[in-house]
Homo-oligomer: A and B are copies of this chain.
Amino acid sequence: MPLTSTLVEDLRKALSDAQAVSTENKELVSFAQSKYPQFPGSPHAVVVHASSTEDVVKVVKIANTHRVPVVPYAAGTSLEGNVSGSNGSVCIDLSQMKRVKEINVEDADVVCEAGVVWNELNDMLQEKGIPLFFPLDPGVGATIGGMIAQGCSGTNAVRYGTARGEYILNLTAVLPSGEVIKTRQRARKCSAGFDLTKLFIGAEGTLGIVTEATIRLVPRLATSVGVVSFPDPRSATLAVCDILNKGASIQCAELVDELSIRAIKLCGKFPMDWVETDTVLFKFQGSEAVRDDSSMIVQNVIGKYGGFGYRHVTKEEDVEQLWADRKNLLFGLLKMHPGHKGYITDVCVPVSKLPDLLLATKKELADRGLVSPLGGHVGDGNFHCFILYKTEEEMKLVMEVVDAMVHKAISLDGTCTGEHGIGLGKKKYLVEELGEGSVELLRTIKAALDPLNLFNPGKLYPEKPSKL
Minimum Cβ distance to chain B for residue A106 (Å): 4
What is the interface of chain A mostly: helix, strand, loop, or mixed? loop
Query: Smallest CB-CB separation from A438: which chain B residue?
Result: B181
Q: Does A219 contact B (CB under 8 A)?
A: yes
On whether the beta carbons of A418 and B238 are closer than 8 Å, the reply is: no
Q: Does A399 contact B (CB under 8 A)?
A: no
On whether the beta carbons of A350 and B434 are closer than 8 Å, the reply is: no
Within the complex, which residue of B190, B196, B292, B439 is in contact with A441, where a contact is CB–CB below 8 Å?
Answer: B196
Q: Does A150 contact B (CB under 8 A)?
A: yes
Given contacts A195-B198, A196-B442, A245-B108, contact A185 B289 (CB under 8 A): no
B-side contacts of A290, CB under 8 Å: 249, 286, 289-290, 293
On whether the beta carbons of A352 and B164 are closer than 8 Å, the reply is: no
- For chain A, residues 18 to 64, give those with C-beta under 8 angstroms from any C-beta of chain B: none
Number of contact residues on A: which range applies? 35 or more
B-side contacts of A108, CB under 8 Å: 241, 244-245
Minimum Cβ distance to chain B for residue A452 (Å): 15
On whether the beta carbons of B348 and A188 are closer than 8 Å, the reply is: yes
On whether the beta carbons of A181 and B350 are closer than 8 Å, the reply is: no
Query: Smallest CB-CB separation from A186: which chain B residue?
Result: B413
Given contacts A192-B426, A289-B292, contact A131 B445 (CB under 8 A): no
Minimum Cβ distance to chain B for residue A443 (Å): 10
Query: Smallest CB-CB separation from A242: which chain B residue?
Result: B106
Q: How far is the CA of A181 from the CA of B439 in the complex (A)?
A: 9
User: Which stretch, A92-100, A201-209, A316-324, touches the partner chain B?
Assistant: A201-209
Given contacts A219-B245, A349-B187, A414-B187, contact A448 B444 (CB under 8 A): yes
Given contacts A106-B238, A107-B350, A350-B186, contact A202 B191 (CB under 8 A): yes
Instruction: Knowing that A107-B351, A192-B430 touch, tell me 20 more A-B residue pairs with CB under 8 angstroms.
Output: A108-B244, A162-B166, A181-B437, A184-B415, A186-B413, A187-B415, A188-B382, A190-B417, A192-B433, A192-B434, A194-B207, A198-B198, A199-B199, A219-B246, A247-B286, A247-B287, A249-B249, A287-B293, A445-B445, A447-B448
13 contacts between A and B (CB under 8 A): A105-B245, A107-B241, A132-B245, A182-B434, A185-B410, A185-B414, A189-B382, A190-B415, A192-B415, A194-B200, A195-B201, A289-B293, A448-B448
